[in-house]
Structure 1
Amino acid sequence: MSGPVVVGVDGSSSLAAVEAAAREAERLGRELRLAHTLTWSSTHLPPGVPPWDRDGAATRVRLTGPLTEARRAARRIAPGVATTQDVLLGEPSAVLESASRTASLTVVGGSPAAGVGGRLRASVAGKLAARSRGPLLVIRGRRDPDGPVVLGDVTSREAAEFAFSQATRRGTDLVVLHPRTRTARSLSAPRKKHPHVVVHERRASSWTGHALVEASGTAQLVVIGARHTVADTLRVSAARILVDHAHCPVAVIPHRKA
């Protein structure tokens, strides 16, 4: 895709995502789009915004700070990248899912969202893992700067291509987890394209989310594919577990329809 790199902005907690998005936009040669979502209803108002905000003054004050801080963070990381900003109305995961359809990459923070009584509800990242239509990068945990990129799905050509590209850019090895001893065909093309990437193939008992969470403990990045179909429910479930519990950033790469 030739669209922008889109990053969800929700305050200081998203600055790591903004910085990662700026790096990816610079690498891809794409515009960076800062997207702040605003859910507006009389029963669910942002803190400090009155039910009737006649000229939008209170809303503008609330939004200016996070977006300004995000723009400064992006400029520090990638000063040459063109940056735009938008305030989008709607439920965050639904709005970002729509934006992901034309984005080169969508980037979000991976902190779980707290629900009533402190119980956890599905995070924005978890929801996007199940329905994003473009590549999704979730920034969470603490990546091991000396660790490898881990590919947790050898059935996806798109995920393999993304994992090899990231290993090349980061100058690190690629660990491929799969339940078969023979090399998957999906690795053939990216191996030829990235001949300098050292590949370690490891047999895994399954592609469950918990197995990938364990593998993320010593990784820079974990990459998994998802087709978002009823038949692929297991893999989508694994992606949702991974983006909410991994110890390092996670990339979820959807299958491109022919």
Structure 2
Amino acid sequence: MNAANSAAVVVGVDGSEPALRAARLAAAEALRRHRPLRVVHGFIWPLLHVPVSPAPDAPPGGGLRHRAEELVAAAVAEAEATAPGLSISGEIIDGEAAAVLVGESPTAALIVLGDRGLGGFAALVVGSVAVQVAAYADCPVLVARGAERPDEPVLVAVDGSAASRLALEFAAEAAVARDAPLRAVRAYRHPGSTGPGDMQPLVYDEAQLHGEEDRLLAESLAGLTERHPRLRLTRQAVHGRTGAVLADASRSAQLLVVGGQGRGEVTGLLLGSVSQSVLHHAHCPVAVVRAPR
């Protein structure tokens, strides 16, 4: 097996329930991909110059590093129970969680993490670590959130952009590996201008617009079933804001796949507004696929 094929699925854990969910999701993903799983904990305390060993008069098994070892062991056990026989290792890496996972990403097949960790604020729907890793990682990032629906299709957002094409290939492979249908969705709102300075029309034919959007979606999907002969593919053009359309569609999906930045989003953003929206509002796990930097 060459280096590319032996790249591990990496899951970040911190002892929280979302992290244990991520460990289970990562184990299932590694099993489907025939790859090893690495369970990683970013151990920030040495950077803050906090003593991590137990005090001299403390009982055995104390100290922050021992606690980190325990939570990694618990996540490894969770992964082993999910995927017996899978090659699984655990590691504690000194550093802040997001930085550690981004540092792992150049040699990882996939980074998996929970939507919120122990340090998350109650008012946040998705934690800052998940957003940072999705924005900066050099491999696809899978965020465990929402409900598990193994009988539902894989959902992918399609807009014709380069990031969307990468997401489409990832989603097709994921659907085939899961023996699930792939549902490709293109969201649209109104006709675009036809040239510089043109205004968007106030009146237009909705049926004609839908037909044109469906045609563009079909063009984006051309050749996909030839590249993935086992793929069961459906498509749907939907009128509405992209983030809202995808969040609603994710209620009946087992996985939502989006590109890191789509057509029409501000150049220079590391993570597009649609990706951020679904990370906060999707009802199933979300995979963010970005073009290599």
Question: Is this a same-fold pair by TM over 0.5?
Answer: yes
1:205/1:129 CA distance change after superposition, 3 Å: farther
Residue 45 of structure 2 aligns to a residue whose secondary structure is coil
Q: Deviations over 1:197-251 (max 9, x none)?
A: 2222111346632332121111111000125995164962211221222110011
Match of 2:120 in 1: 114
Amino acid across the alignment from 1:171: D
- Determine which structure has more spread, i.e. the larger CA radius of gyration: 2
Match of 1:48 in 2: none
Residue 204 of structure 1 aligns to a residue whose secondary structure is strand
Extract structure 1 runs of 4+ deviating beyond 6 A.
none
Q: Deviations over 1:30-89 (max 9, x none)?
A: 22111001222687x9xxxxx434579602321122111111122222232222221122
Amino acid across the alignment from 1:251: A
1:29/1:214 CA distance change after superposition, 3 Å: same
1:127/1:42 CA distance change after superposition, 3 Å: closer
Match of 2:192 in 1: none
Counterparts of 1:131-170 in structure 2 under 5 Å?
131-155=136-160, 156-170=164-178
Residue 197 of structure 1 aligns to a residue whose secondary structure is coil
CA contact (8 A) 1:8 1:35 kept: yes
CA contact (8 A) 2:12 2:112 kept: yes
Count residues in correspondence: 249
CA contact (8 A) 1:135 1:251 kept: yes
1:92 corresponds to 2:97 = yes
CA contact (8 A) 2:53 2:65 kept: no
Task: Choose which of 249, 258, 263 in structure 2 pairs with 1:224.
Answer: 258
Task: Choose which of 81, 84, 88 in structure 2 pairs with 1:79.
Answer: 84
1:102 corresponds to 2:107 = yes
Counterparts of 1:41-56 in structure 2 under 5 Å?
51-53=50-52
Q: CA deviation at 1:153?
A: 2.7
Match of 1:6 in 2: 10
1:239 corresponds to 2:275 = yes
Gapped runs of 5+ residues in structure 2?
A: 56-61, 189-212
Match of 1:69 in 2: 74
Gapped runs of 5+ residues in structure 1?
A: 46-50
CA contact (8 A) 2:9 2:36 kept: yes
1:15 corresponds to 2:20 = yes
Amino acid across the alignment from 2:11: V
Larger CA deviation: 154-163 vs 4-13: 154-163
Match of 2:221 in 1: 187
Amino acid across the alignment from 1:238: V
Distance 1:26 1:144 in 2: 18
Residue 272 of structure 2 aligns to a residue whose secondary structure is helix
Distance 1:58 1:234 in 2: 38
Q: CA deviation at 1:147?
A: 1.8
Larger CA deviation: 204-213 vs 17-26: 204-213
Amino acid across the alignment from 1:215: A
Distance 2:270 2:37 in 1: 33
1:238/1:83 CA distance change after superposition, 3 Å: same
1:69/1:114 CA distance change after superposition, 3 Å: closer
Q: TM-score, normalised by structure 1?
A: 0.84
Match of 2:195 in 1: none
Distance 2:141 2:287 in 1: 6
Amino acid across the alignment from 2:291: H
Distance 1:207 1:94 in 2: 32
CA contact (8 A) 1:127 1:240 kept: no
CA contact (8 A) 1:216 1:247 kept: yes
Distance 2:131 2:253 in 1: 20
Identity within the alignment, %: 36
Note the aligned Cα RMSD (angstroms).
Answer: 2.8
Match of 2:204 in 1: none
Distance 1:85 1:232 in 2: 35
Amino acid across the alignment from 2:230: H
Residue 107 of structure 2 aligns to a residue whose secondary structure is coil
Q: TM-score, normalised by structure 2?
A: 0.75
Amino acid across the alignment from 1:199: L
1:230/1:254 CA distance change after superposition, 3 Å: same
Distance 1:250 1:5 in 2: 16
Residue 151 of structure 1 aligns to a residue whose secondary structure is strand
